[in-house]
C-alpha cells in the first residue's frame, strides 16, 4: 500500500468511528428512562433555528443534549425550581403537525422548546409535582 492509500483508509476509519460513536450516543440518550425528543432555541433573537436534541428529567433538573454532538455532558441544564413554562403554541409544521412550541423562562432567560403533546404533558406534570420546597410554575 502506498502512503496515500494508508491516509485514505485511516481517514475513512476515523469518519466511520466518529459516526458510530454519534449513533451509539443517540441510542443511549434516547433509551434512558425519562428522556424525550426535544428541540431547543433561545427566544432572542427571534427566527433562530431550533436545534434538535434529547431532553431527560434528572434529580431536580431538566438536561438537554444536542442530537449531533459527541459531548458527554448535556448542552443545557435547567433547574426544576427555577423553570417556568410561560406558554405553548401548536406548530403548523407540515411534516409533524403534532408538535408544540413551548415558551419557558429560567433565571430570567427566555427560551423555547419543541416537543410532542405527550412530552409537554410530561413536562408540565414534572414541574407541577415538585416537592413543596421547590416552587415551579406553569402558566
Q: pLDDT tens across 78-132, in order?
A: 999 999 999 999 887 666 668 899 999 999 999 999 999 999 999 999 998 877 6
Whether residue 9 is contained in a domain is answered as no
Model pTM score:
0.74
77, part of any domain: yes
Grid cell 423562562 is found at 105
- The CATH number of the domain holding residue 76 is 2.30.29.30
The Cβ of residue 64 has, within 10 Å, a number of other Cβ atoms equal to 20
User: Does some domain include residue 3?
Assistant: no
Query: Per residue in 6-63, pLDDT tens?
Result: 888 888 888 887 777 667 666 766 766 678 999 999 877 877 888 989 999 988 899 9
Range of the domain at 89: 32-138
pLDDT in the model for residue 49: 87
Q: 134: which 3 cell numbers?
A: 421547590
Residue 16 lies in a domain: no
Q: Quick check: 136 pLDDT over 60?
A: no
> Residue 69 pLDDT > 80, yes or no?
no
- Measured CA to CA in angstroms, residue 136 lies from 38, 81, 89, 120 at distances of 20, 5, 20, 15
Q: Look at the chain and report how many structural domains it folds into.
A: 1
Domain annotation covers residue 18: no
Amino acid at each position: 500500500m502506498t502512503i496515500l492509500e494508508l491516509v485514505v483508509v485511516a481517514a475513512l476509519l476515523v469518519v466511520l468511528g466518529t459516526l458510530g460513536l454519534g449513533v451509539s450516543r443517540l441510542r443511549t440518550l434516547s433509551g434512558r428512562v425519562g428522556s424525550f425528543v426535544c428541540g431547543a432555541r433561545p427566544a432572542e433573537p427571534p427566527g433562530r433555528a431550533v436545534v434538535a436534541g434529547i431532553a431527560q428529567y434528572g434529580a431536580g433538573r431538566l438536561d438537554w443534549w444536542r442530537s449531533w454532538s459527541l459531548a458527554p455532558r448535556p448542552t443545557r441544564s435547567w433547574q426544576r425550581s427555577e423553570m417556568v413554562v410561560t406558554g405553548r403554541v401548536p406548530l403548523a409544521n407540515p411534516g409533524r403537525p403534532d408538535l408544540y412550541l413551548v415558551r419557558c423562562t429560567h433565571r430570567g432567560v427566555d427560551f423555547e422548546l419543541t416537543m410532542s403533546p405527550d412530552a409537554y404533558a410530561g413536562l408540565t406534570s414534572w414541574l407541577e409535582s415538585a416537592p413543596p420546597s421547590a416552587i415551579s410554575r406553569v402558566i
